[in-house]
Amino acid sequence: MADSFSEDVESTPPVHNAGGDVDMADDAGESASVHTSTVAGTGAGANGSELPFAEGGPDDTPPTPRVPFSQHLTSPVVTLIVGRGDSETILTAHQSLLTSSPYFAEQCALFADDGSPRQIELPNEDVDAVGCVLEFLYTGEYFPKKVPGQRTLETDPSLPKVDDTGDQLLKHARVYTLADKLGLPSLKNLSSSKIHCVNSTAKGEIAYARYVYAYTSPDDLSIRAPIANFWAMRSHTLRAEAEDEFRALCLEHPQFGYDVLTRVLDDKLKRERNEKLLPASSSTRKRPRHSGIA
């Protein structure tokens, strides 16, 4: 507000008395007195050189000092119990880094300073996804990283180049849903961008779509809309590769089938509208003439 208001004051042109036959002294003096009192009321000096809100403005707020990384490592260690039963895994992380997540901050606020264990249970989360979250909190990234300037990810020798099972897509999808739960929008954006870097097959895409429609909100169009658009444009070719899986997905998640069908019909209406506005030339649709001469 202060910056935009200052620009308006500076760009206001000075008032000139263009009409020599008209006495504007009273009006000008009255206007000048109002302008002077307004500027004076906003903290300008006698010479009027200072702008409104020059003192005590939002730009005077000192920046938040950066916390040394070593200071994070001196904070208490929190135990994360991930999964349940035979798949239960114990991870640890420094509390100072965990609290950058609103969810973890709320959990850490319940800890007592009496030496009792600091534990957070995540029974329904995937351990690999939690590990990616911790890697992000410590480093600002998680493996595999995006290759700068390219729409690809770092090569992982343990994974095939083409995701036939959907495991690579599901990895980033699980990070996405966990980041949403933990209140980490930057990690959500990062994982979403990595999803579009994975080369997969129809079966892999179906496994990914099934997870997204099962574990995301219907209002989360940022991840659902690309899936529906993808299948609307390619369903006529990809469906043949996974006919049974595609049918099962539509029956299991009717919203998926509806979203895809809606986009297919919208695209059809758009094409018909364009054909009416720009009809094709009749000469291009003529059949080739055949000569009757043998």
Read off the DSSP letter of residue 142. Answer: -
CA distance 116 to 23: 84
User: What are 90's two structure tokens?
Assistant: 């114990």
Range with lowest mean pLDDT among 41-55, 61-75, 231-245:
41-55
Helices (H), 239-281: 243-252, 254-277
pLDDT given for residue 116 in this prediction? 86
CA distance 162 to 201: 7
User: β-strands 119-122, 89-94: how paired?
Assistant: unpaired
pLDDT given for residue 5 in this prediction? 36
User: From the CB of residue 188, how many other CB atoms can be counted at a distance below 10 Å?
Assistant: 20
Read off the DSSP letter of residue 58. Answer: G
59-79 mean pLDDT: 81
The contacts of residue 230 (CB under 8 Å, 6+ apart) are 205
**Does the pLDDT value for residue 11 go beyond 80?**
no
Instruction: Dihedral sign for Cα 229, 230, 231, 235, please.
Output: positive
CA distances for 236 relative to 179, 232, 246, 273, angstroms: 34, 8, 11, 22
Sheet holding 77-82, edge to edge: 89-94, 77-82, 119-122
109-115 mean pLDDT: 89
Chain segment 24-54, per-residue pLDDT in tens:
444 444 444 444 444 444 444 444 445 444 4
CA distance 87 to 107: 23
**Does the pLDDT value for residue 248 go beyond 60?**
yes
Please say whether the beta carbons of 48 and 39 come within 8 A.
yes
Instruction: Give the confidence band of 68 by pLDDT, cuts at 50, 70, 90.
Output: confident
**Does the pLDDT value for residue 16 go beyond 90?**
no
User: What are 166's two structure tokens?
Assistant: 């959907």
User: What are 225's two structure tokens?
Assistant: 């809309």
CA geometry: angle 211, 215, 220, nearest 5 deg: 105
Amino acid, res. 162: V
Instruction: Give the confidence band of 58 by pLDDT, cuts at 50, 70, 90.
Output: low
pLDDT given for residue 114 in this prediction? 85
User: β-strands 119-122, 77-82: how paired?
Assistant: parallel
Residue keyed to tokens 């994982």: 191
pLDDT given for residue 64 in this prediction? 74
pLDDT given for residue 113 in this prediction? 85
**Does the pLDDT value for residue 246 go beyond 60?**
yes
Amino acid, res. 124: N
